[in-house]
Amino acid sequence: MIVTLDQVEMPWGGLLEESPERRWEHGWLADKRAWFFVRIGRIRNGVEDDLILLAPPMPQFEYVLPRLIEGHWLIDVMLVSPPSLNGLGRWAMDPLKSLYEVSSQRNPKLQGYIYEVDGRESMRDWPFDKYETLEEEKVIFSMSEKTNNWLNMHG
């Protein structure tokens, strides 16, 4: 999803400190799909801090997020949506309220997603007709209860 080059890698760590992290000056999106800007809280050196996670699009988001925030807490999640999804003619970033997986009643193998964001209509990302009868909805994510502990929902 995010592409970068070795040439833009930045030195990281202290003189005696080894770290598995790698840092880059910049990168770019490989495709124009919705992705997630996630703010995670943590305690670092005894001080409350936060970090920003540029999370992958669905379906990877559902599996990646619980592992990445283990031992931390979820502050908020923003949906970063392309014009083809949000209908605005530009990229947008909105607070994500809920995310559902849906399937077609006629063909349950066809799956898609409904993104509910603050202040706008739900966005639908699916391969079937918008008037298709939906079989079921699976809640993948919800901030309705201020889901600071994602692992209680998915762990």
Classify each residue of 64-96 as buried b or exposed e, where b means 16 or more C-beta atoms within 10 Å of its C-beta.
ebeeebeebbbbbbbbbbbeebbeeeeebebeb
Residue 150 has pLDDT above 70, yes or no: no
What's the pLDDT band for 27 if we cut at 50, 70, 90? confident
Find, among 34, 26, 21, 33, the residue nearest to 5 by Cα: 26
pLDDT at 97: 93
Output DSSP code: residue 31: S
Give whole-number Cα distances, 79 to 57, 83, 117, 130, in Å.
9, 12, 8, 21
∠ CA 54-58-56, rounded to 5°: 20
Confirm whether pTM is higher than 0.85.
no
Q: Where are the alpha helices (DSSP H) in 22-149?
A: 60-68, 83-86
- Please give the residue that has the higher pLDDT: either 42 or 1: 42
The sign of the torsion formed by the CA atoms of 134, 106, 124, 65 equals positive
Q: 58 forms bridges with which residues in the sheet? A: none
| pLDDT tens digits, one per residue of 66-117 | 776 667 888 889 999 999 999 999 999 999 999 998 888 887 778 889 999 9
**Contacts of 100 by beta carbon, 8 Å cutoff, 6+ apart:** 113, 114, 116, 137, 138, 139, 140
Return d(Cα 123, Cα 83) in angstroms, integer: 11
